[in-house]
Amino acid sequence: MKIVLAPDSYKNSLTAKEVAESMRRGFEKVYPDAEYLNVPMADGGEGTVQSLVDAKDGKIVTETVTNPLGKPTQAHYGLIDEDVAVIEMAEASGIQYINQFTQNPYITTTFGTGQLMRSAIKNGAKTIIIGIGGSATNDGGAGMAQALGAHLLDENNEELQYGGAMLAKLEKIDISEMMPELKDVKVIIASDVTNPLTGPNGASHVFGPQKGASDEMVEFLDDALSHYARIIKRDLQKDLETTPGAGAAGGLGAGLLAFTNSQMRSGVDIVIDYTGLKEKVQDADIVVTGEGQIDFQTKFGKTPIGVAKATKAVNPKTTVIAIAGSVGEKISELYPLGIDAIFTCVPGVEELSKAIQDTDKNLQQVSENIARLIKNTK
């Protein structure tokens, strides 16, 4: 019997590697002699760096970079397979850096994300996987581009200062001094949303308010991003304003597409490829996946669905089980997509903090019970 444990992390509780280990310990009580394979997973969001580093035995690199408010901070990224870097933009430019007193998308910058990319390239990265979303920024990735050496110039040929509002002053883009190594680097973008750069569904209108933009600021920022897109089209010959995902992370999606050799892909598919999940589940009898919360939204590219689809594609007979900390609405929508059964590991009504604290124990318990049921019905 071969059992593959391929969960995502449980937010604020266990890493994906730890979740896989807890599940495995539960199954081992019933099937001590089975062949087990732990494959920590992620979908491009929080935890992607840690999961890929764990899955590939990579290393974490720490850098001092500029946070969205222009202050120094420590941020991490991963290096795997010698020349592949894994970055979560939120590490350097995420919404956790701002609060109700400091939030101001006119000035917040993605400069720190560009510094992480620069460091990764200096460390030999030829491919950068970058998860984008959860940002404090609305600068269209302008800061990221500047950190990589692009010049964004105003009418006096002066470099633009940080922030989304400054884009209104952009007159010219000069990429002649961007890092020369960049042209040999492939950037794979895992975006958390498919919104366009501008308009009613764009970065400023949909995500600006959560970063502190008032109605007036939203309009100004949206116009500024439109202007930025026009200059990009003229100077870099890339037409990105309506591209799906260009509006992710305050337009960092557009910035990456404009300034780097990049493509957008589903985050979980990227992780499936890099972990070789399909080969690993080919001869599996049972695949166990999971995430802190599972509900109908899981079908929009979250880890459990990615794992289920990948498994059924190579072996339709394999049983795919998902275990969640909490199970929400309309999970029946997930069954036709490849998840055979969904369980929650929380034993009863209790405080969230207690459930989080007991995740390891609870996961072992539910995993053991699932294994018992399988053994009994074989």
Interface residues toward ligand DGY, by CB under 6 A: 133-135, 192-193, 207, 248-250
In whole angstroms, the minimum distance from the beta carbon of 110 to ligand DGY comes to 10
Q: 310: phi > 0 → left, psi -120 to 50 → alpha, else beta; which?
A: alpha
Is residue 40 a contact partner of residue 54, using CB atoms and an 8 Å limit? yes
Nearer to ligand DGY, 193 or 327 (CB): 193
In whole angstroms, the minimum distance from the beta carbon of 176 to ligand DGY comes to 30
Nearer to ligand DGY, 44 or 325 (CB): 44
Segment holding 353, helix H or strand E: helix 352-357
In whole angstroms, the minimum distance from the beta carbon of 36 to ligand DGY comes to 35
Nearer to ligand DGY, 17 or 211 (CB): 211
Is residue 143 a contact partner of residue 159, using CB atoms and an 8 Å limit? no
In whole angstroms, the minimum distance from the beta carbon of 373 to ligand DGY comes to 39
In whole angstroms, the minimum distance from the beta carbon of 235 to ligand DGY comes to 25
In whole angstroms, the minimum distance from the beta carbon of 45 to ligand DGY comes to 9
Segment holding 25, helix H or strand E: helix 16-30
Is residue 8 a contact partner of residue 41, using CB atoms and an 8 Å limit? yes
HEC profile for 220-255? Answer: HHHHHHHHHHHHHHHHHCCCCCCCCCCCHHHHHHHH
Q: Are strands 172-174 and 72-80 parallel, antiparallel or unpaired?
A: unpaired
Nearer to ligand DGY, 78 or 133 (CB): 133
Nearer to ligand DGY, 81 or 223 (CB): 223
Is residue 277 a contact partner of residue 52, using CB atoms and an 8 Å limit? no
In whole angstroms, the minimum distance from the beta carbon of 114 to ligand DGY comes to 16
For residue 62, give every residue at least 6 positions away whose Cβ sits within 8 Å of its Cβ, in sequence order, or none: 74, 75, 76
Nearer to ligand DGY, 250 or 267 (CB): 250
* CB atoms near residue 304 (< 10 Å): 30
DSSP structure string for 4-15: EE----BTTTB-
